[in-house]
């Protein structure tokens, strides 16, 4: 590697550290300006969406840059009344439901594989991890028949089950990798104390896995909150639609009233943006670990 | 000993829920999809009729299918350029040039679109791309008079959706590269500095080789994702105008649930499977390889 060519003795030279100060050079300023411009390009459309939510149609299309003459909070109220609150609520239900179910079922599986060490663990592990290679779209058409015959079509529980099943391989992979590195002393102590597997799981293993469970939960939340294919195909009633599909319905209900649609979009965007801003550290940790998929 | 054995067979109960869910809702449908791709059925003929490779012939003879493949490939190429290439440069600039205090702020700002649902972004860009929308207004600031309906015209529809997708995802991979760069031991950069290597040289001989693992992984994930694109299209063009922005996912959906041609749809699913399965195998092989090397 070319890195090693850069004199190794310099590595030892600690004196260098102090010298890495920030000098302002024209190039730095230029790059700074470019990066700031990119930040504007990223943020402005979102800000524009929120502001447009307060406008009238005429203002939105006549004067794209301007501020509304009058800030119409009524648009936001109207969007809320048009069902946005239901969509967000349904999304919350499937998100929380599938987080609980997938972390639990996957922790069970990882526990069996790592700590109980069931016979035939290796082929079973392969079977579970093999699921990582399969995607939702490929299963869509046959699932349509299966969901109907199991009476899970057009139900939130059906959606929760699908969100769980398709994320078991990844979540098990994540939790298992973490469980393998747990210290064995506590487990051995629990066995000596005559704890049952059930007690061992809840009192010893699961609490120790807390950090990885948080990461798993965040990744699952990002998935379920935004999932679209299953939510589109397997939910029919407007009252059961989750946010990503519901907003499409909102748009077709309000074909010409874009400011109200924008108000609805803004309301729907806020929960996840806030969650990210407040839990950024966990998000970053989660997505870094999540790269297995 | 006996107790140990009892414990072990009880162990299967722990793994049972995961296995049942996987077999019923993931493995069975995918196997079933392969079988059904040899049958023809729809709402009027609910009992599948064996037709051999007829569905495959129909799909491969259909120009829309090829449009979809080309669009997916486009999606993959542009996404790799932005979300791997440009994201890496961006991350290196953030870590190397920007004052530490500003770094965190910029990274956070860049990441925000990735937390927002694709539907929200798609509906927002529908208006941004309208003739009297924000993009044309922006171009007007530079004296470019445009009344183009970016999503409504065949030449620009898919390109506009791909551009939107880069806007949304650039910050996500940048964040991952930032994490990878932060894991590089500082000593390497100090050595480069002592040797008088310039910023560009340092980037190519320190940063790039030491984040290679992240680069490869992200490349595979991005390509695989490009073949699964669905929501982006549904929220904007829905494949139009005149099927010019169809991708495999949307064409599958439309064939199955709008055109009621289930057999045709299962063939598209097989094609998607081939692409994503290959990507997954590559990813697996690569992480194995890395583990052996280390």
Does the distance separating the beta carbons of B19 and A172 come in below 8 Å?
no
Given pLDDT bands bounded at 50, 70 and 90, which one contains residue B8? Answer: low
Segments making up each domain of chain A, as ranges: 85-292
Q: Which residue has the tokens 């299918």?
A: B65
Given pLDDT bands bounded at 50, 70 and 90, which one contains residue B6? Answer: low
The distance of A183 to chain B (nearest Cα, Å) reads 20
Does the distance separating the beta carbons of B123 and A247 come in below 8 Å?
yes
Say whether pLDDT at B207 is over 80. yes
CB of B98 closer than 8 Å to CB of B106? yes
> For residue B205, how far is the Cα from the chain centroid?
29
Q: Classify the complex by whether its ipTM is higher than 0.95, answering yes or no.
A: no
The distance of B243 to chain A (nearest Cα, Å) reads 19
Tell me the three state secondary structure of residue A258. helix
Higher-pLDDT residue of B68, B104 = B68
The distance of A38 to chain B (nearest Cα, Å) reads 8
Higher-pLDDT residue of B38, A24 = B38
Q: What does the pLDDT read at residue B294?
A: 58
Does the distance separating the beta carbons of A127 and B22 come in below 8 Å?
yes
- What residues form DSSP beta bridges with B49? B40
- pLDDT 10s digits, B263-290: 999 999 999 999 999 988 887 788 777 7
Say whether pLDDT at B2 is over 60. no
Contact residues, chain B, for A60 at CB < 8 Å: 127
Contact residues, chain A, for B93 at CB < 8 Å: 31, 35
Given pLDDT bands bounded at 50, 70 and 90, which one contains residue B7? Answer: low
Nearest CA to B69 out of B240, B224, B236, B271 is that of B271
Structure tokens at A73: 């909070």
CATH number for domain A85-292, candidates 3.40.50.10310, 1.10.3720.10, 3.40.50.300, 3.90.470.10:
1.10.3720.10
Q: Is B274 on the interface with A (CB under 8 A)?
A: no
Given pLDDT bands bounded at 50, 70 and 90, which one contains residue A21? Answer: low
Does the distance separating the beta carbons of B32 and A134 come in below 8 Å?
no
CB pairs under 8 A between A and B: 292
Measured distance CA(B184)–CA(B92) in Å, rounded? 12
- pLDDT 10s digits, B99-152: 888 888 999 999 999 999 999 999 999 999 998 888 998 898 888 888 899 999
Say whether pLDDT at B220 is over 60. yes
Measured distance CA(A206)–CA(B177) in Å, rounded? 31
> For residue A140, how far is the Cα from the chain centroid?
21
Q: What does the pLDDT read at residue A2?
A: 39
DSSP state letter for B151: T
Mean pLDDT on B172-179: 94
- In order, the DSSP letters of A265-291 are HHHHHHHHHHHHHHSHHHHHHHHHHGG
Say whether pLDDT at B171 is over 60. yes
Q: What does the pLDDT read at residue A22?
A: 59
Q: Which helix (H) or strand (E) holds B50?
A: strand B49-50
Structure tokens at B67: 């449009």
Summary mean pLDDT of chain B: 91
Measured distance CA(A162)–CA(A136) in Å, rounded? 9
Residue in chain A lying closest to B179 (CA) = A288
CB of A177 closer than 8 Å to CB of A203? no
- pLDDT 10s digits, A142-159: 999 999 999 999 999 999
Q: What does the pLDDT read at residue A7?
A: 42
Q: Which of B29, B40, B285 to mutate to test the interface with A (most CBs of A within 10 A)?
A: B29
Q: What does the pLDDT read at residue B3?
A: 58
CB of B90 closer than 8 Å to CB of B171? no
Of A19-23, A70-74, A144-148, the range with the lowest mean pLDDT is A19-23
CB atoms within 10 A of CB B26: 25
Q: What does the pLDDT read at residue A252?
A: 87
Measured distance CA(B57)–CA(B44) in Å, rounded? 22
Ordered by where they begin, the domains of chain B are: 58-293 (1.10.3720.10)
Contact residues, chain B, for A243 at CB < 8 Å: 117, 119
Of A58-67, A73-82, A86-95, B68-77, the range with the lowest mean pLDDT is A58-67
Does the distance separating the beta carbons of A8 and B269 come in below 8 Å?
no
Q: What does the pLDDT read at residue A127?
A: 93
Which residues have C-beta within 8 Å of that of residue A244, sequence separation ≥ 6?
Answer: A91, A226, A227, A228, A231, B117, B118, B119, B120, B231
Q: Which of B102, B120, B235 to mutate to test the interface with A (most CBs of A within 10 A)?
A: B120
Measured distance CA(B33)–CA(B25) in Å, rounded? 12
Q: Is B190 on the interface with A (CB under 8 A)?
A: yes
Bond from prior residue into B159 cis (ω within 30 degrees of 0)? no
Q: Is B191 on the interface with A (CB under 8 A)?
A: yes
Measured distance CA(B25)–CA(A166) in Å, rounded? 8
Given pLDDT bands bounded at 50, 70 and 90, which one contains residue B219? Answer: very high
- pLDDT 10s digits, B37-61: 999 987 777 788 899 899 999 999 9
Q: What does the pLDDT read at residue A17?
A: 42
Q: Which helix (H) or strand (E) holds B34?
A: helix B28-36
Say whether pLDDT at A3 is over 50. no
Mean pLDDT on B2-30: 84
> For residue B242, how far is the Cα from the chain centroid?
24
Nearest CA to B238 out of B128, B158, B118 is that of B158
Of A220-234, B131-145, B230-244, the range with the lowest mean pLDDT is B131-145
């Amino acid at each position: 590697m070319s890195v090693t060519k850069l004199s190794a003795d310099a590595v030892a030279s600690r004196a260098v550290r102090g010298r890495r100060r920030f000098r302002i050079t024209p190039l730095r300023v230029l790059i700074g300006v470019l990066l700031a411009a990119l930040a504007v390009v990223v943020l402005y459309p979102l800000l524009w969406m929120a502001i447009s939510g307060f406008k009238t149609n005429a203002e939105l299309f006549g004067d794209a840059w301007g501020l509304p003459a009058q800030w119409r909070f009524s648009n936001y109220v109207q969007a809320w009344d048009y069902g946005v609150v239901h969509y967000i609520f349904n999304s919350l239900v499937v998100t929380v439901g599938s987080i609980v179910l997938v972390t639990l079922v996957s922790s069970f599986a990882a526990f069996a594989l790592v700590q109980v060490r069931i016979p035939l663990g290796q082929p079973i592990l392969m079977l579970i991890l093999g699921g990582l290679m399969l995607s939702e779209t490929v299963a869509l058409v046959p699932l349509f028949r299966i969901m109907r015959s199991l009476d899970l079509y057009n139900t939130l529980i059906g959606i929760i089950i699908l969100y769980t099943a398709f994320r078991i391989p990844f979540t098990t992979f994540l939790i298992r990798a973490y469980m393998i590195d747990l210290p064995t002393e506590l487990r051995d102590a629990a066995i000596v104390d005559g704890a049952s597997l059930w007690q061992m799981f809840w009192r010893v293993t699961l609490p120790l896995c807390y950090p990885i469970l948080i990461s798993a939960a965040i990744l699952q939340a990002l998935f379920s909150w935004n999932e679209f294919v299953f939510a589109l195909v397997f939910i029919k009633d407007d009252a059961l639609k989750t946010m990503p599909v519901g907003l499409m319905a909102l748009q077709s209900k309000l074909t010409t009233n874009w400011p109200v649609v924008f108000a609805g979009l803004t309301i729907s965007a806020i929960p996840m943006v806030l969650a990210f801003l407040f839990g950024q550290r966990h998000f970053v940790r989660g997505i870094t670990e999540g790269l297995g998929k | 000993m006996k107790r140990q054995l009892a414990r072990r067979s009880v162990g299967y109960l722990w793994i049972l829920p995961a296995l049942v869910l996987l077999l019923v809702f993931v493995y069975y449908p995918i196997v079933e999809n392969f079988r059904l791709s040899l049958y023809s059925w729809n709402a009027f003929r609910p009992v599948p009729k064996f037709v051999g490779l007829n569905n495959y012939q129909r799909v491969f003879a259909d120009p829309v299918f090829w449009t979809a493949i080309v669009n997916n490939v486009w999606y993959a190429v542009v996404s790799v350029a932005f979300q791997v290439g440009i994201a890496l440069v961006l991350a290196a600039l953030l870590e190397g040039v920007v004052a530490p205090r500003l770094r965190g702020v910029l990274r956070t700002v860049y990441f925000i679109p990735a937390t927002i649902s694709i539907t929200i972004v798609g509906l927002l860009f529908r208006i941004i791309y309208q003739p009297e929308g924000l993009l044309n207004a922006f171009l007007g600031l530079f004296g470019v008079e445009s009344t183009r309906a970016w999503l409504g015209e065949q030449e620009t529809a898919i390109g506009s959706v791909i551009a939107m997708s880069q806007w949304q995802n650039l910050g996500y991979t940048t964040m991952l590269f930032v994490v990878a760069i932060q894991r590089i031991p500082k000593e390497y950069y100090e050595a480069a500095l002592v040797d008088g290597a310039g910023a560009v040289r340092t980037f190519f001989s320190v940063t790039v080789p030491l984040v290679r693992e992240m680069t490869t992984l992200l490349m595979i994930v991005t390509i695989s994702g490009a073949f699964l694109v669905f929501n982006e299209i549904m929220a904007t063009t829905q494949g139009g105008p005149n099927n010019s922005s169809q991708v495999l996912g949307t064409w599958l959906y439309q064939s199955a649930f709008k055109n009621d041609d289930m057999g045709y749809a299962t063939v598209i699913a097989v094609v998607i499977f081939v692409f994503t399965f290959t990507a997954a195998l590559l990813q697996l092989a690569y992480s194995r390889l890395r583990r052996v090397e280390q």
